[in-house]
A and B are shown apart, each in its own frame.
Chain A
Amino acid sequence: MTRITLQRRRFLQALGLGAGSLFLPSLRGRAQAATPPKRFVVVFTQHGFVYNSFRMRPAGTNDTADFDVPLAGIADGDFSRILRPLAPFKQKLLVVDGLSLASAEGDIAFNEHDKGTRGALTGAPLQQSNGTLGAGGASIDQLIAEQIRVPGRIDSLGFAVTGPSSGGAIWRGPSQALPPDTDPRGAFSRLFPAGQTGEVTNADRIRAGQSSVLDFVGDDYDRVVTRLSGEDRQKLELHRDLVRGAELRVQELNNFQCTRPNEPVLENNFGNVAHYESRFNAFVDITAAALACDLTRVVTIQLSQLRNDHLGITGDVHADFAHNSDRNPEAIEVMSRYGEVHAGHVRRLLERLDSIPEGNGTLLDNTAVLWVSELATGTHRFNVWPAVIAGGAGGALSTGRYLRMVPRTPTPNPHPDWSGVDPLVGRPHNHLLLGLAQAMDAPMPEIGGRELTTTTGVRIDLTTPLEEILT
């Protein structure tokens, strides 16, 4: 009887080393390719931005004219309130001020949170069936993952701090929501399982047997799918393909060298801000480690509503403050702080990615980080939707700039009854999604549709990539 060969999955325990020293270039194994791969990370937050606390109007610029200003020339202290926490990364930052969620604005029927959450990353109008409200297309992270995926790795990871809101932002395709993982411990053990130590145990043998189990399961699916039709068949075929993907993955990962991040330390009391922060920090650790060892190239982190204690308030963030953040001074103050706190989250992510050397630079330099919200403003507007990009995408993104585009797209819904609707909105954000796809070497002819027609018959093109962000 021959013994099966057990391949060792080699992990280096973090053992209390500081975050910056976790990743030693000489130990990065296969991830140390000649040219580091490009990665894509989305941070998705809620309740939009207080625009006046977000925007920057450096000396010499004019609010009525487009401008493109190097951030290097702006002192940290002169950054806008919300962007100030990101000032240390000014060379690697690209702020886009002048987009809109025009596609959501064009979708008049539904609540803006539903539209924004489903539309921000898909650029597509909503789809409704059987009482569920779905996105009308795939989200940018999935579209990019599909093109840059590496067989044997994880196509994409989706995390959520406490939970996705309004049905979630990540969509495999029309009406196919992908639930994000909300459990950092589960994610940790999924991505960085304990490796073999010492003698070969039954647990090691079971780990070694996984690809044969998945192969057996895949065969089982093959037999079942032929007896199904329609959507049921498509669904189980997809499931079968994912099982086959997992089979390849467990084979690949057995040979993988990777450094385990620190095991998540979580605060369990929901009422405590640390409950939220410990989850975010754990997901940042896991994201950085998974990207560094090339377990995946695409990660999305959805952040649920901040806690009252983040903001020092009582009352309801959503109803009492976000909804009044254009008129009530206290609400404006609180929601400006809301943006600042999230900028701090993004900064923590950037610090981690930037602390990992890779190629001639850092992991951040090979990543495109996109920070956006479901809405343009806490008051449910879509007209000027801020987008913050960070990282270089391997030199494809032209960073260190603040890009301002004056709104000149006709609003898709100039409804006569609606006062307070701007006749002109920002450039459709589909253009940004297309530009990012191009930066990620995953160019696409369209994302979320080819055009919108306003209620007065004006056509709005959605297919022009925002080339201004590219080098």
Chain B
Amino acid sequence: MRRNLLLVWAGLITASAGCDVFVDPPPVAVDVPPQQVALSPVRRLTSEELNRTLRDLFRADSLPTVAITEAPGKDFAQEVQGQAVSDLYVDQLRAGAIAVTDAVAANESALLVRAPTGTDDEVAVIDETLQLMLPRAFRRAVADDERQQFVDFFAARRAAGDPFTVAVQLMLQGMLQSPSFIYRLELDGAAADADDRGRVPVSSTEMASRLSYFLTGSMPDDELLQAGINGDLATVEGLQRQVDRLLADPHFVDAMVSFHSQWLDFDRINRTNKNAERFPQYNEALSSSMRREADQFISLLVEEEDSLRALLTTRRTRLMPNLGPIYGVDVPGNDSVVTLPEDRSGILTQAQFLASHGHGLEGSPILRGVFVLERLVCEAPPVPDASVNLSPPEALPDDAPLTNRDRYKQHTQDPVCLSCHVAIDGIGFGLEGYDSIGQHRTVDNGLPVDETGSLAGTRVGGTYEGAVELGQKLADSPVVHDCVARHWFRFANGRREQTADRDDIAAATAAFTAEDTAIPALLRALVATDAFRLRRIQ
């Protein structure tokens, strides 16, 4: 048998129960030389951020969506690594700018500060409009000469014969394709002011954008931008005030949904097929309701109890009626808030997760177990070499009936497989109380379902019975708190955590644990870290 030879991935390898597991680097007390302090690379607005920024910039809710293709293979679109520049991007942004400016120009009275009194007045109107618009678009103060370039461009188009509205649109297209708009440029600060690790504070103006994109997924609102430009965000108090305000902002839910949908791969259900004979009720309407529930569930968390504990344990959710039969609950109308039966417990018993981590006929304890290990425990098991027989043995006609669990158990009996599958199956088997479209069950193939599970072979440890107890154990575990903090760190800073960030992660995790996994506590703590507040000067 060809074994896995695994080298260092994101960090170190620990041998837990004989399984080589990728574990992110544990905190080690070492001095960090300046060159190891991570850079804060220039970030480009993600597709979601771009569209929300356009909505807020033009104060218009129904603009055409700008379709930008994100690079594949990242945890978060927010991560800079792999954020490719391509002519596809250039063309998509240009097409989007044309569509958006066409839409906003249709409502000239909302777009311009006032209507020009005549041709002679046009340049003045454009200049006044840009005085308000450009600082919001570029999220910083804009000097007169920089603004003048836009005015001049408008005037040149008019002189070339374009109608007023066309010249306005072309000028705005220039604004929307400007690096100051699509990139989050951080240029303030001088090397002379750097600390012994080569870092300068992120300026108050630049902090406004860091905060708003982290906590609302969009540009700073007027109050935040003004606070930034005024220098208020350079103080802890000023920062705190704005963080508290944004955490209560209606757009905070956008950031929450953006984070969770990527971290927990909500879109996977869009690519999930089921066997039509076994599950005739599974169709596009059902899978899109499952996808919808995931976002709605996060927004309900924000409204009711925004914590990791609730994410993993609450029975409250918001459903479309066609999901009622899946959960065994009455759903009176679209997006009704319901309390699910006692066999449910947060995200790991949600239909979209259970269905998307299952095959056409049967749920997959392996996919479910690997998901929890990777995303909640930060211990990604290695992908087995293909010489390992991975197919679930099929029941032969003469065999005694077996449960799905028994079938999976049989094929991981090999000691080499077991070294990892102790951890994977220990989690996956505990979710056997749910079939491949997420329905609760106590009988599988005519046999009683065994829901006992184990977290042996992971740093969490211990045993449990069924998904409800699994959710509680994970919510209690400092290992999971640390893992969640790492994922939020990547989302907040647009990069992977590195050894130099160990104190930041530890502090954020401590605050998170101390406040019983309240997400706002974690986010406040992340804002207070060096990684968020300082920037290494190259």
Q: Which residues of chain A come closer than 8 Å to B115, judged between CB atoms?
A: none
In this complex, what residue of B is CB-closest to A309? B273
Given contacts A166-B73, A220-B174, A224-B185, contact A190 B92 (CB under 8 A): yes
Assess whether A213 is in contact with B180, with CB atoms less than 8 Å apart.
no
Among A130, A224, A328, which residue has its beta carbon within 8 angstroms of that of B180? A224
Given contacts A108-B5, A205-B163, contact A269 B284 (CB under 8 A): yes
Assess whether A323 is in contact with B94, with CB atoms less than 8 Å apart.
no
Binding stretch for chain B, among A59-67, A167-175, A342-350, A353-361: A167-175
Assess whether B391 is in contact with A320, with CB atoms less than 8 Å apart.
yes
Assess whether B81 is in contact with A131, with CB atoms less than 8 Å apart.
yes
Whether A212 is near chain B, meaning CB under 8 Å from some CB there, is yes
Assess whether A111 is in contact with B383, with CB atoms less than 8 Å apart.
yes
Binding stretch for chain B, among A362-370, A415-423, A426-434, A439-447: A415-423
Whether B32 is near chain A, meaning CB under 8 Å from some CB there, is no
Q: Which residues of chain A come closer than 8 Å to B10, judged between CB atoms?
A: 131
Q: Which residues of chain A come closer than 8 Å to B180, judged between CB atoms?
A: 220, 224
Whether A189 is near chain B, meaning CB under 8 Å from some CB there, is yes
Contact string against B for A residues 106-142, beta-carbon threshold 8 Å, 1 for contact and 0 otherwise:
0011011100000000000000111111100000000
Among B42, B161, B169, which residue has its beta carbon within 8 angstroms of that of A1? B161
In the bound complex, CA of A186 to CA of B10 (Å):
36
Among B81, B159, B174, B538, which residue has its beta carbon within 8 angstroms of that of A130? B81
Assess whether B170 is in contact with A213, with CB atoms less than 8 Å apart.
yes
Q: Which residues of chain A come closer than 8 Å to B478, judged between CB atoms?
A: none
Given contacts A168-B73, A216-B174, contact A132 B81 (CB under 8 A): yes
Whether B303 is near chain A, meaning CB under 8 Å from some CB there, is no
Tell me the smallest distance from the CB of B346 to a CB of chain A, in Å. 26
Assess whether B67 is in contact with A112, with CB atoms less than 8 Å apart.
no
Whether B448 is near chain A, meaning CB under 8 Å from some CB there, is no
Binding stretch for chain A, among B82-90, B235-243, B314-322: B82-90
In the bound complex, CA of A186 to CA of B382 (Å):
37
Please indicate which of the listed interface residues B86, B284, B498 has the most CB atoms of chain A within 10 Å of its own CB: B86
Whether B360 is near chain A, meaning CB under 8 Å from some CB there, is yes
Q: Which residues of chain A come closer than 8 Å to B392, judged between CB atoms?
A: 320
Whether A143 is near chain B, meaning CB under 8 Å from some CB there, is no
Whether A459 is near chain B, meaning CB under 8 Å from some CB there, is no
In this complex, what residue of A is CB-closest to B5? A108
In this complex, what residue of B is CB-closest to A269? B284
Assess whether A206 is in contact with B3, with CB atoms less than 8 Å apart.
no
Q: Which residues of chain B come closer than 8 Å to A235, judged between CB atoms?
A: 42, 85
Tell me the smallest distance from the CB of B373 to a CB of chain A, in Å. 16
Task: List A177-192 residues whose CB lies under 8 Å from chain B.
Answer: 177-183, 186, 189-190
Assess whether B270 is in contact with A246, with CB atoms less than 8 Å apart.
no
Q: Which residues of chain B come closer than 8 Å to A327, judged between CB atoms?
A: 389
Q: Which residues of chain B come closer than 8 Å to A331, judged between CB atoms?
A: 391
Assess whether A378 is in contact with B386, with CB atoms less than 8 Å apart.
yes
Whether B495 is near chain A, meaning CB under 8 Å from some CB there, is yes
Given contacts A210-B94, A212-B170, A224-B185, contact A380 B386 (CB under 8 A): yes
Assess whether A239 is in contact with B390, with CB atoms less than 8 Å apart.
no
Q: Which residues of chain A come closer than 8 Å to B177, judged between CB atoms?
A: 213-214, 217, 243
Please indicate which of the listed interface residues B9, B82, B153, B385 has the most CB atoms of chain A within 10 Å of its own CB: B82
Assess whether A129 is in contact with B81, with CB atoms less than 8 Å apart.
yes
Assess whether A178 is in contact with B2, with CB atoms less than 8 Å apart.
no
Whether A471 is near chain B, meaning CB under 8 Å from some CB there, is no
Assess whether A213 is in contact with B174, with CB atoms less than 8 Å apart.
yes
Assess whether A177 is in contact with B82, with CB atoms less than 8 Å apart.
yes
Given contacts A4-B162, A131-B496, contact A314 B360 (CB under 8 A): yes
Contact string against B for A residues 129-169, beta-carbon threshold 8 Å, 1 for contact and 0 otherwise:
11111100000000000000000001100100011101110
Whether B533 is near chain A, meaning CB under 8 Å from some CB there, is no
Given contacts A134-B82, A209-B170, A270-B284, contact A220 B179 (CB under 8 A): yes
Assess whether A189 is in contact with B95, with CB atoms less than 8 Å apart.
yes
In this complex, what residue of A is CB-closest to B497? A131
Assess whether B359 is in contact with A316, with CB atoms less than 8 Å apart.
yes
In this complex, what residue of B is CB-closest to A378? B386
Whether B71 is near chain A, meaning CB under 8 Å from some CB there, is yes
Among A129, A182, A224, which residue has its beta carbon within 8 angstroms of that of B69? A182
Binding stretch for chain B, among A87-95, A226-234, A254-262: A226-234
Task: List B146-191 residues whose CB lies under 8 Å from chain A.
Answer: 149, 153, 156-157, 159-163, 165-166, 169-170, 173-174, 177-180, 183, 185, 187
Contact string against B for A residues 394-432, beta-carbon threshold 8 Å, 1 for contact and 0 otherwise:
000000000000000000000101111100000000000
Contact string against A for B residues 51-88, beta-carbon threshold 8 Å, 1 for contact and 0 otherwise:
00000000000000001011111110001011011111
Tell me the smallest distance from the CB of A269 to a CB of chain B, in Å. 5
Tell me the smallest distance from the CB of A175 to a CB of chain B, in Å. 7
Q: Which residues of chain B come closer than 8 Å to A179, judged between CB atoms?
A: 69-72, 84, 86, 88
Whether B387 is near chain A, meaning CB under 8 Å from some CB there, is yes
Q: Which residues of chain A come closer than 8 Å to B178, judged between CB atoms?
A: 217, 220
Whether A32 is near chain B, meaning CB under 8 Å from some CB there, is no
Whether A197 is near chain B, meaning CB under 8 Å from some CB there, is no
Q: Which residues of chain A come closer than 8 Å to B91, judged between CB atoms?
A: 190, 246
Whether B361 is near chain A, meaning CB under 8 Å from some CB there, is yes
Assess whether A419 is in contact with B174, with CB atoms less than 8 Å apart.
no
In this complex, what residue of A is CB-closest to B150? A216
Whether A45 is near chain B, meaning CB under 8 Å from some CB there, is no
Whether A238 is near chain B, meaning CB under 8 Å from some CB there, is yes
Q: Which residues of chain A come closer than 8 Å to B39, judged between CB atoms?
A: 230-231
Q: Which residues of chain A come closer than 8 Å to B153, judged between CB atoms?
A: 212, 216
In this complex, what residue of B is CB-closest to A131? B496
Given contacts A179-B84, A242-B85, A245-B87, contact A379 B387 (CB under 8 A): yes
Whether A2 is near chain B, meaning CB under 8 Å from some CB there, is yes
In this complex, what residue of A is CB-closest to B382? A111
In this complex, what residue of B is CB-closest to A111? B383
Whether A28 is near chain B, meaning CB under 8 Å from some CB there, is no
Assess whether A324 is in contact with B389, with CB atoms less than 8 Å apart.
yes
Whether B447 is near chain A, meaning CB under 8 Å from some CB there, is no
Assess whether B88 is in contact with A181, with CB atoms less than 8 Å apart.
yes
In the bound complex, CA of A214 to CA of B95 (Å):
12
In this complex, what residue of B is CB-closest to A3? B161
In the bound complex, CA of A95 to CA of B99 (Å):
47
Tell me the smallest distance from the CB of B163 to a CB of chain A, in Å. 7
Whether A77 is near chain B, meaning CB under 8 Å from some CB there, is no
Contact string against A for B residues 1-40, beta-carbon threshold 8 Å, 1 for contact and 0 otherwise:
1110111111000000000000000000000000000010
In the bound complex, CA of A230 to CA of B537 (Å):
10
Among B41, B73, B165, which residue has its beta carbon within 8 angstroms of that of A177? B73
Tell me the smallest distance from the CB of B422 to a CB of chain A, in Å. 19
Q: Which residues of chain B come closer than 8 Å to A420, judged between CB atoms?
A: 1-2, 387
Whether B275 is near chain A, meaning CB under 8 Å from some CB there, is yes
Assess whether A167 is in contact with B73, with CB atoms less than 8 Å apart.
yes
Tell me the smallest distance from the CB of A272 to a CB of chain B, in Å. 9
Given contacts A212-B157, A415-B5, contact A323 B74 (CB under 8 A): no
Given contacts A183-B67, A202-B165, A236-B42, contact A4 B160 (CB under 8 A): yes
Q: Which residues of chain A come closer than 8 Å to B90, judged between CB atoms?
A: 239, 242-243, 245-246
Assess whether A109 is in contact with B73, with CB atoms less than 8 Å apart.
no
Please indicate which of the listed interface residues B42, B84, B388 has the most CB atoms of chain A within 10 Å of its own CB: B84
In the bound complex, CA of A182 to CA of B71 (Å):
11
In the bound complex, CA of A111 to CA of B381 (Å):
11
Whether A319 is near chain B, meaning CB under 8 Å from some CB there, is yes
Assess whether B166 is in contact with A236, with CB atoms less than 8 Å apart.
no
Assess whether B275 is in contact with A132, with CB atoms less than 8 Å apart.
no
Q: In the A-B complex, list the 9 residue pairs whose CB atoms are closest, starting with the nearest.
A: A380-B386, A167-B73, A131-B496, A109-B7, A320-B391, A314-B360, A232-B42, A111-B383, A379-B386
Identify the B interface with A (CB < 8 A).
1-3, 5-10, 39, 41-42, 67, 69-75, 79, 81-82, 84-92, 94-95, 98, 102, 149, 153, 156-157, 159-163, 165-166, 169-170, 173-174, 177-180, 183, 185, 187, 270-271, 273, 275, 283-284, 359-361, 382-383, 385-392, 495-496, 498, 538
| 17 pairs, CB–CB < 8 Å, chain A vs chain B | A108-B5, A113-B383, A131-B496, A168-B72, A176-B84, A177-B73, A179-B84, A179-B88, A206-B98, A206-B169, A209-B162, A212-B170, A243-B177, A269-B284, A320-B390, A327-B389, A380-B386
